[in-house]
Structure 1
Amino acid sequence: MLVMILEDDSWIADLLKQIVLSLRPGCQVVCLDSVSAALQEWQQRPADVVISDWNLPDGPGTRLLEQVRRDNSSTPLVVITGRSDRASVLAVRALKISAFISKPFQAAHVAASLETLLPPDIDGQPLRVSDAQDDLLAHLHSLSGSELQLPLKAHVRDRLLQSFKGEPIDLRKLASEWQHDPALSGRLLGVANSSAYNPGGKPCSNLLEALHKLGANNSLNLAMGLALRQSSALENPMLSLFAQAHLDSTEQLIERSTSLARQCAMDPAPFHCAALLHRMGELCVLYQAQVWQDSGQSFSEDQLMQALDQFSGPFAISIKAQWHLPMHLRELIGACYSLPSSNVKRENILMRLAACELNSADDSPELARLRRLAGLA
């Protein structure tokens, strides 16, 4: 089964894709961002279901739907639109639209609607990792930047999936847990700083700013999309143990760095976010190792240690770029590990001091130097 999604907002398109795959894991989904590309794709590979936004940069999505109806009278058509007036509905009545999804939408409601429209999944299971790669290191080396993810904390993922299935959820309580989840905080920061949501504006450097920019409903949809995307949980005991150690270190650094920030009358929020994300490379390697194992492959402890050593740094660099993290936040994250000799920013000095206080003896010369630079001697 093939499902076509025509949507120029890449974040909404990805959410819709994850919803479809959660309902029909064996289907193929193609996402397109222009009417012209969708028309060409339809001529080459007619889809079994078409989901289209109404307004696209190169014209109305109804151009695609009209072509689909000329070729096939029974293909389910779903329209995504901010228009809910009667005139708009009547304007496309002849196309026999199967369902209208009004923006802003809730992921659970979209899933309920699509469940009745998607044909039965008869194509089998989703594709597995290629058997051509015979070890974990080769697999990690082959990954593109768009494939890199951090694992959601298990309880956060479970609660999001419960909400997706229609169970009631306290959004305020859930949001309070998100600030301790690197994957979710990074995801929302990435969307809030993207050109679609922050065209030329002030960059977001912490989760609270991102939530305000995106809004509650949009933030919840994006969080659900991430939960649906993550087909693997860290069930391998060794991976889980490593991940917990890294998460514990982030909490310790959050506590110390935000305490120093308050002591110096500075905003603690960027320090919290930088500390939360400073182990993103390691967490990404661990998640990809679990995906590798879930595909039927195996790895040794030595291979995992090599993977962490070789890929944590490059993966972190790639993720920071992918998430559009602002430069001052990247500098704060970098200060967790080292401080350039030319640095004069007090924020970075404080972050470096917090990291050293957790890892150095209290009487070390480096700590004394950093305290002087921070004005805390």
Structure 2
Amino acid sequence: MPTTEALSAETADASRFDGNLTELEYLALASSFNLADGHARQELTPGQSKVVGELPGLWAEAVMRPVDEIEEEAHRAFFHLLGQKSYPGADGRVLACYSSSVAMEIFARALVAETDTIALVHPTFDNIPDILRGVGLRLVALEEDVLHGGDLPAELLAEVGAIFVTTPNNPTGKVLSRERLARLAAQCAETGVVLALDTCFRGFDVAGQYDHYEVLEASGCRWVVIEDTGKLWPTLELKIGWLVRSANVGLPLAKVYSDILLGVSPLIMLMIKGLAEDAADGGLADLHEFIATNRALVRANLDGIPGLTFVDPDSRVSVERIHLGERLAMDVWEKLRAHNVYLLPCAKFHWANPSEGDHMLRIALSRSPVSLDVATRALRDVLLGE
């Protein structure tokens, strides 16, 4: 990762910045008003603090117990929390990774052994196309209105070896319904196309918590799902990305996995198990209320600004997009930076056509309400002071 100083020099002229979203997020890490990255950075709840306070005991437990037993308990607690009771946890089809990005890298490296072309939902977070392109895959944009509108065109399915969908999507919050997933999986089964899902924001929207694995297993298609704990709980980047696969996937996922890592710390697995159990005991509902309250705060603070609109009125995920009207997002980003406030310009989300995001910013909601209030009031001042 480049140094903060190097990135600051690169972005001195914001209009010429050609880096990725993670580089912009990195610049925000030292700020008290970092509303850039989508990771959970709010304060721990009492229940979560209790789990963290038990870490010394969890360490001792991790030393004594078999790792595979701990891992099975951890993914069962997490998957069942989010309604995924049909996930294949008993036959070695769940691989624990350091993060969802590592899981995605493993998937991409395995997929390129079979195909050179993949359809990817558009827009979505830019590290997904970057990882896929990085292994040599050619990307075909799959627009959200096409994805959610009905059967995919036969010519698209004939062109690609895989389809990659983020649901709920980042940054739009759109969720692939059970009916659409069933039909998409059926089309993939009919054509032999691999269906890959990134469900890292699933925990924020109950509409995305129907049993995806029940649908996928019934379809007979070849599938891969990437799950993630890192967006839900403020665990200082201690997290797990799970890579789950169908029995018939036919990709060398286990081999590539073994090339990259041995496994995830059982201490982190026990922590995730405890956090999932706390979430099942009311913590997840509390999180939904927390995000909804923060979203309402943002909308109230920015209400009435000429030209500003909220792009995703029905979103439940932990980010909020705003359209700035005629203003360029990078210009506003640069002015906010003078106040030590960081949001995320949206051009890079639109990886196939960046100009579509030139006038949008994304605001992270998994933050302290005080920081969120101060930062969005600064944004209001900047927009009204032009």
Q: TM-score range by the shorter chain?
A: under 0.3
Report the TM-score, using the length of structure 1 for normalisation.
Answer: 0.27
Which protein, 1 or 2, shows the higher relative CO under an 8 Å CA cutoff with sep ≥ 6? 2
Name the one with the larger helix percent: 1
TM-score by length of 2: 0.26
Q: Per residue, is there more strand in 1 or in 2?
A: 2
